[in-house]
Structure 1
C-alpha cells in the first residue's frame, strides 16, 4: 500500500521555509549590559574624574551637585539627586563634610564609595568670624582639590575605585590616571617655583578654598577676608585686613 503524504497549504509551507532559514542565521547578540554609572558628588571631583573615564566602554559619568551651586554646604537634595545616589554603581566623594546634605542617602547606597580626601594632609579651615573677639572656629578645610598635589592623590583614589568597578579596563584607567597625575604634579612644581621667587610673601584670601593652593606655592596666608559665605565682610573687617 502506498503511503499518502498529508497535503500542506502554501501558507504552512512558507512558514516552515522561513523557520528553516532563520535556523541558519547566527544567534542575535545579547543586549548590551547597563552602563556602569559613576557619580561624582561635586564639580571639582567631576572635573578630575572626566579624564579618568576617557576611552572607557560602557561607563557613564554623572555629576550630583550642580556646578553653579559653588560650595555645597547648604545644598538641599532634590528627589532626582537622591535617585542618582540610589542607582549609582560607583560614587566618588570629596569628603570632609562637603556631602553632608547627602549623608543618609550615601550611607544607604549600595554603590562602591571612594572618599577622595583619604590620605591627604589636611589644613585647618575657618568658619564664622566673630567681630568682637575675632574668635575663629577651626575645622578641616575640605577644599583639598585646589592643591595640584592633593588633586593628584584624589585622582589615584578615583582610579582605584574605577578599576574595581571595571577590572577589564584597568589598563586604560591606569594610563589615564598617570597622564592626569603627571600634569597635576607639573603644575605643583610651577606653583612651588612661583612661591620660591617671592620668599616670605603673605597673601590675603577672599575665601579659604584657595588655602591648599597657597600651601603648594609656599605662600603664607595672613588672613581670610570673607569667612561667612552668606554675609559680606563689615567695614571694620575690611579695615582690619588692610
Structure 2
C-alpha cells in the first residue's frame, strides 16, 4: 500500500513539473516589417546580430518603387501582424503606414527619411544648380512630376528616392537605428553601432563615386526617371532629361523626339537606363542622339536573398558603368 502511495505521489509531482514547463511562455520574436527593398536592406544591416527580432520585407523584392501598387490580402495581413513598421516615407509608401496606424494606433512606425532631407534641397538638382529637367515638345524645360499612389511630388517637397544616394542612405540607417532603439532599448547600442559603421562605409562609397565622376570630361546624362536625382547630386552628375517623366506611363513619340533634341543640345554624354525598365526606349534615344547607353542601378529592387552588402556591391558596379558610358570617345573600346 505504501508503494502505491509513493508511486501516485511521484506521478503527481512529475505531472506538476510538466505542467510548469508547459506554462512557461516561449520567447516571441518582434516582427519588424519593412515596406520596400532598400529600406529592408538598411534595416537588416542595422539589426544585424540582434536576437529576438525578425526583419521582413513587405513588398516583392523585385518590384522597385511601388508606383500604383495594389496591396494584396497577404500584404495587409503582414502589415497588421507587424510589431514595428519601417517605411521610406515622403509619399513613396504612405499606403503601408496608413494601414498599419489604423490597425495598430499605438505601434511604432519608423520613417527612414525623417529629417534626412532637411536643408538638402540641392540633392534634387544637377551639379550646375539648374536642376534636373526634361524638355517638352517646344524645347522648353518641363516641370517633372513624379506620382506615387495617386499623389504628385507636389504633395512632398523632397524627392522620395533618397536611398539612391549612398550618403543619404547612411543617414537613413541612423534614423532606423534610433527608431529601433526606442522600441528595443536593450539593443540600442548594437543598432547605433551598426548604423554608424554602415554610414561610414557609405560615406566613403559616395566619395569614391564622386572622385570617379570628377575624372570624366562630360558629366551630363539622360536618366530613366527621377529616382537617380540624389545619386546624381552625390556623384556630381547633371541630369539633362528623363525618359519617364510620369511614373507608370511610357513617353509619347513627341516626348521622345524632344528628349533626343535636348540630349543633343545639352551635349549629354550618355543615356543611363535602369534594370527595372525595358531598355528599348533608352536604346532608341541613345541611337538617335548618337551617344552611348549604360545602366545605373538605384537599388530600388533586388533578389529575395540579397546579402547584407548588396547595396554597396551594386553601387560599386555603378562606378564602373559610369566610367564606361561617360568615357571620351577616344577611350572607348
Using the alignment, how far apart are the partners of 1:81 and 1:22 within structure 2? 43
Per-residue CA shift, 1:92-128, capped at 9, x if unaligned? 1100111133353133233211111122224279999
The answer to whether the Cα contact below 8 Å between 1:43 and 1:65 also exists between their aligned partners in 2 is: yes
The answer to whether the Cα contact below 8 Å between 1:38 and 1:88 also exists between their aligned partners in 2 is: yes
**What secondary structure sits across from 2:67 in the alignment?**
helix
Using the alignment, how far apart are the partners of 2:26 and 2:133 within structure 1? 49
Q: Find the structure with the greater CA-based Rg.
A: 1
How big is the shift at 1:48?
A: 1.0
Per-residue CA shift, 1:173-197, capped at 9, x if unaligned? 2222122112111111111212322
How big is the shift at 1:31?
A: 2.7
Matched, 1:145 2:163: yes
Matched, 1:41 2:23: no
Name the structure, 1 or 2, with higher relative contact order (CA <8 Å, separation 6+): 2
Matched, 1:94 2:88: yes
The answer to whether the Cα contact below 8 Å between 1:90 and 1:161 also exists between their aligned partners in 2 is: no
| Corresponding pairs, count | 234
Using the alignment, how far apart are the partners of 2:243 and 2:184 within structure 1? 44
**What secondary structure sits across from 1:72 in the alignment?**
coil
Using the alignment, how far apart are the partners of 1:126 and 1:70 within structure 2? 21
The alpha-carbon distance between structure 1 residues 86 and 16, as it changes in their structure 2 partners (threshold 3 A), is same
Partner of 2:77: 83
The answer to whether the Cα contact below 8 Å between 1:48 and 1:155 also exists between their aligned partners in 2 is: yes
Q: TM-score, normalised by structure 1?
A: 0.83
- Structure 2 gaps of 5+ residues are 126-130, 146-152, 261-333
The answer to whether the Cα contact below 8 Å between 2:134 and 2:241 also exists between their aligned partners in 1 is: no
Using the alignment, how far apart are the partners of 2:163 and 2:17 within structure 1? 58
Matched, 1:231 2:249: yes
Q: TM-score, normalised by structure 2?
A: 0.62
Which deviates more, 226-235 or 31-40?
226-235
Name the Cα RMSD after superposition: 2.9
Partner of 1:163: 181
